[in-house]
Structures are given as structure tokens and as C-alpha cells.
Amino acid sequence: MLLNIERVLKMLAEGKSVEKIAESAEVEAGDVRAIIEEALDIVMKYEKPRAKKKIIIKKSRSRESSEGARDAVDDEIFNGAEFTAIPLGAVLTIYTDGASSGNPGHAGIGIVIYDAQNRQVGKVSQYLGVQTNNYAEYTAVIRALRIAAYFKAKNVRIRTDSELVVKQINGQYRVKNENIRPLYESVMDILRGLPSVKLEHVTRNLNDKADYLAKKAAERRGLE
């Protein structure tokens, strides 16, 4: 099947995932995402500011790809995610949370993404397996930063109710747990590639949507 923007958008509107579109067209998922990104550029260039048309990207599971490391990262970004039309170079505010039922126990992450006009443009709810709460909190922040990097966000505000994570990343606390150190280092690596990021601590009541998505993912126990 020959893919073009019109055909891809039609299949997305029918509820098909990126993987399903790629499978039916006998192409790689990365090829489909390239078409989607081209569509996003066109929409943001010509669409009126108040237009209600949305482009939905959904992915429920990661899969191996022959395109190598970039597709592996893309798969991780899209796993458990649902995005509307996030323009390249956007200003984003991202709320993150991690949940663990037993610390360690069944864990999940929740992420809610807003654009500069405070419109919700994405969310993530993903099961992590059996992990600690701090592992889940860090993983949620890492995913949020990778999403921001994927969409080349020029300004990012990450908000989480984990005071420990915020103070460690901002250099106020040392990272003493050796199991957390690799996650901390991953955060710092991603931060070096983003132009402007601010990490903020918020109270749990201001992070209720991300909290709900994290707990919902943990309760699924990987059976989705």
C-alpha cells in the first residue's frame, strides 16, 4: 500500500495505531511517524488557531525495529501514550507521577502534557513491572523529557509531586541510592540536549491527573 498524508490521517481517524498502519502498508513504524510529523508541520503552518481538528497518535506496546537505536527510543516514547497535535518547537508544561503498590510492588507512570495555551495535548499511562516508588517517579520524568526532546520543545516545565526527585535533579540533594543513580544520570544526559527545562515540585492535589494515570497503570499489572 502506498502511504501518503491523507491516507495516514484517515487511518488514524479510524482508530488505527502507528503499528497497525505500518503493518498494513508493509513499512516500518518510523516511516509512518515521519509522515505524521510532516502532517503536523503542515497543520501548524496553515491551520487557524481555533481549529478543532486533532491528530491522534496512540501506541500500546513497544516493538523491535530494524531501523536501530532511534526507533527503539521512539517506541519507548510512544508506549502507553496518546498525543494530539504537538507542534515541533512547542512550549510544554508536563505533569509526571510514579506509583508503586508495595514499594517495591506493581508500578506505573502517569504523564499529562499541556501546551502554551494550557490545552491538554498528550498523556501517558504505562505499567513498569515490579519497581520502587522512586524508580517510577524518575522513570516518569525521564519519559517526559524524552517526549519533549522528540518534539524539539524549546521550553519545558516539568512538574512532579516527588520532592526527592526535584531536589536531587536540581542539585539540592545527593543521590545516594545506587539503583537510582543510573536514572539520575539519564535525566542529566537528556537535560543537556534541551534548550530550556525547569523542574518544579507541586503538591499532590495539583498533580491529580498524572497520579490517576500512574495508579491506573500500576493496577493493570502488565495485563493490558
Contact 55, 43 (CB under 8 A): yes
Is 17:60 a contact under the CB 8 Å cutoff? yes
Domain ranges of the chain: 1-84, 86-224
Q: What b/e readout covers 56-88, taking b as 16+ CB neighbours within 10 angstroms?
A: ebbbeebeebeeeeebeebbbbbbbbbbbbbbe
86-224 is classed in which CATH architecture?
A: 2-Layer Sandwich (3.30)
Tell me if the pTM is above 0.75: no
User: pLDDT tens for residues 144-160?
Assistant: 999 999 999 999 999 99
At 32-86, the pLDDT tens digits run: 777 777 777 666 555 444 443 444 455 444 444 444 444 555 667 888 899 887 8
Name the strand (E) or helix (H) holding 183.
Answer: helix 181-191
What does the pLDDT average to over 11-17? Answer: 72
pLDDT at 49: 44
Looking at residue 2, its pLDDT comes to 67
pLDDT for 84-128, tens place per residue?
Answer: 878 889 999 999 999 998 889 999 999 999 999 999 999 999 999
